[in-house]
């Protein structure tokens, strides 16, 4: 595997669930969270932790599809970007755990896509875009970093 791809994979992994110097990763920020805490809103019209989980999963899905050139349309939930999640409903622990697994699965699928990409394709513009695959991959890692910090703050607000 070429050095550029190794660096991109390391960045994506450090943002999601591998050991990192900066603090909690996205997946690590979810450790110990129960559905009741994940469903609490920090304020009216604000997203909760649970919605951030599905949002992050969706964007991993969207980036993977952009990298492969596949058409959108197969994400688990209808819609895009933000998905309202259940509040005080029966079975919400199982539903929250399923959405956390969805996030992990979308990460795994994205990672596999990056690992299989030909090196020359990393620096080419994506179809119909002005930016390269490398740019988008760095962006999805930054997205994980951003939402990991957001979740850490929301955990404090919802304790």
For residue 123, count CB atoms less than 10 angstroms from its CB and return exposed for 0-12, middle for 13-18, buried for 19 or more.
exposed
pLDDT in tens, 74-104: 888 988 899 988 766 767 899 999 999 999 9
Q: What is the mean pLDDT of residues 48-72?
A: 93
**Rounded Cα distance, 51 and 39, in Å:** 8
Between these two residues, 43 and 59, which has the higher pLDDT value? 59
The DSSP code for 47 is -
Bridge partners of 125, per DSSP, are: 132
- Domains of the chain by range and CATH? 3-157 (1.20.120.450)
DSSP for 45-92 reads T---HHHHHHHHHHHHHHHHHHHHTPPS---SSSSSS-----SS-TTH
Q: Write down the pTM of the prediction.
A: 0.93
Q: What is the pLDDT of residue 132?
A: 96
pLDDT in tens, 94-147: 999 999 999 999 999 999 999 999 989 999 999 888 999 999 999 999 999 999
Q: Identify whether the C-beta of residue 148 lies closer than 8 Å to the C-beta of residue 28.
A: yes
Q: What is the pLDDT of residue 114?
A: 97
Q: What is the pLDDT of residue 128?
A: 85
pLDDT at residue 69 above 90?
A: no
User: Both tokens of residue 109?
Assistant: 């699928």
Q: What is the pLDDT of residue 88?
A: 64
**Rounded Cα distance, 15 and 28, in Å:** 10
Give the CA distances from residue 114 to residues 4, 8, 98, 100, 156, in Å, rounded to whole numbers and listed in that order.
11, 8, 24, 21, 34
Q: What is the pLDDT of residue 31?
A: 95
């Amino acid at each position: 595997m070429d050095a550029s791809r190794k660096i991109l994979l390391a960045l994506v992994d450090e943002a999601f669930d591998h050991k990192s110097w900066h603090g909690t990763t996205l997946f690590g920020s979810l450790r110990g969270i129960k559905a009741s805490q994940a469903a609490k809103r920090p304020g009216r019209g604000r997203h909760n932790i649970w919605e951030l989980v599905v949002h992050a999963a969706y964007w991993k899905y969207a980036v993977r599809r952009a990298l492969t050139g596949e058409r959108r349309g197969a994400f688990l939930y209808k819609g895009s970007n933000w998905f309202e999640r259940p509040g005080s409903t029966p079975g919400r622990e199982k539903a929250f755990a399923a959405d956390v697994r969805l996030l992990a699965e979308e990460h795994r699928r994205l990672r596999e896509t990056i690992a299989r990409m030909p090196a020359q394709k990393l620096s080419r513009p994506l179809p119909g875009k002005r930016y390269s695959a490398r740019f988008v991959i760095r962006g999805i890692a930054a997205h994980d970093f951003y939402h990991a910090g957001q979740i850490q703050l929301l955990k404090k607000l919802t304790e």
